[in-house]
Chains A and B, each alone.
Chain A
Amino acid sequence: MSHPLTYRRAFLYAAGAAATLVALPAFAADPAAQLILDISAEVVELMKTKTGIDRQNGFQRILETKFDLPYMGQMALGKYWDGTTPEQRARFLKATATAEARAYNERFGQYGGQSVTVNKVSPRANGVFEVDSQINQPNGGEPVKLRWEVQNRGSGLRVTDVKVEGVSMVMTRRSDFSAYIQRNGGNADALIRELEARAGR
């Protein structure tokens, strides 16, 4: 008769132990929140002090130092990544970095006066920290929901994806890129040339 009790107690201990183990990454999650706050502060500073190409270069520097661009590029290229040469990869990453910097520069050009607050950090089993944050509009408009994925893949904690209102940047790019590849010869070369042409424009 004592078996169920023992099992239950054992289960409780196990659950307690697991809870302690899970609680530890939650403390370690603070650097992830700090990373997002740092990025926000740098972006606000950049918007206040720089314009035009200087600002775009500023965005590119933030992307290169705070985001894991090689990993994001690999994810965005999806199954086509494996079929590319190192030289193609380098060209692809260079073109996408320029494209993203330009996109962010134009995107924020039409904004002004907003702030970012970090709400919650949820560590996941696969080593990814999900940081929930929001952009608060100065005119009392509805805040924009941003969810960042942060992970350490060898070069310190870096952003690996941004979801705006549930729309993942990396996943949208992957759909975009793979559709382009499928409709233009089935390998990444056409895509890379198109991206380079756009980056040069």
Chain B
Amino acid sequence: MVEGILVSVAGLRRSVVLVAAMAALAGGCATNDTKDQEVWDPLETPNRFIFSINRAVDVIAIRPLTVFYRDWMPEPGQKGVHNALENIQTPVTAINEVVQGSPKRAANSMARFLVNSTIGVAGLFDVASSLGLPKTREDAGKTIGMYAGVPPENGGPYLVLPLAGPSNFRDAAGLLADYAVDPFRILTYALNVDWIVYSGPRAAVTVVDARSRTLFALDDIEKNSVDYYAALRSAYTQQRAELIREKREKTDSRSELDRRDNLALVH
């Protein structure tokens, strides 16, 4: 078991180096800016190829499965599944909030995790929200974007990931970082939990849950565009940029408040 922990720590260190390298790359693209409001997409040909494979897989398997899930799983059940997935993800959110310099929000997230994991029956019920602990959702892509001194629209080259879909260097690096620091992954790896027991089902349920929440929006974009790939590329980039912009603004006003608090303490 100790060996397992060591291996996972080594794996973690490798991932961290990789993430740092990718983040540096993402940060280095300041010159390739979005002057024409276009997304920087030097890998468009391979991206479009993976996009078409993703769409085929979606049409054949994921979408029908998701529609079945949406229509046959009772609403409270869908909500419970979503809550449980969010709960498993909460420690990663807390870690990101620490890195973002928001210890209070991180404490809030950990309190949410403790409450929902116990009283909320393994996260099925979001009891914490009704107790006044608001839900937050952070990922390392946002954290990198917050600190990168580039416009939030610039996440490095656009990427289409197999299965996961729209992304860019920044957000893909973020995915790796979140995967690396995920306590649940480290723990189940260290305990030699079989993938069929934990990581497999989690990934499968995450895909269906995520797809069920994007059915309406993606159908809308597909129906109302002449080039679905380009429309989605633009929408994804804008939405991520908006989240990061909010992050920057919030942190700015926060640090301003903290500064005032400190002044008050001195006087």
Contacts and interface: CB of A to CB of B under 8 A. Distances in A.
A172 interface: yes
A175 B234 contact: yes
Taking residues whose C-beta sits less than 8 angstroms from the other chain, chain B's interface range is: 20 to 34
B108 to A, nearest CB: 18
Contacts of A110: 216
A180 B242 contact: no
Contacts of B242: 163, 165-167
B38 A103 contact: no
B231 A171 contact: no
B238 interface: yes
Interface string A89-120: 00000000001000100110010000000000
Contact of B238 (A78, A168, A178): A168
- Most chain A C-beta atoms within 10 Å of own C-beta, residue among B36, B224, B231, B233: B224
Taking residues whose C-beta sits less than 8 angstroms from the other chain, chain A's interface range is: 20 to 34
Contacts of B227: 176-177, 179-180, 183
Given A107-B220, A166-B242, A176 B39 contact: no
B229 A179 contact: yes
Contacts of A180: 226-227, 230
Interface string B202-228: 000000000000001000110111110
A167 B239 contact: yes
A36 interface: no
B143 to A, nearest CB: 18
Contact of B226 (A107, A167, A176): A176
Nearest to A178: B38
Interface string A148-185: 00000000000000010111100111111111100100
17 contacts: A78-B37, A106-B223, A166-B245, A167-B234, A167-B238, A168-B238, A171-B234, A171-B238, A172-B234, A174-B37, A175-B38, A177-B227, A178-B230, A179-B227, A179-B230, A180-B226, A194-B226
Interface of B: 36-39, 216, 220-221, 223-227, 229-231, 233-235, 238-239, 241-243, 245
Closest 5 CB pairs of A and B: A166-B242, A179-B230, A175-B234, A176-B231, A179-B227
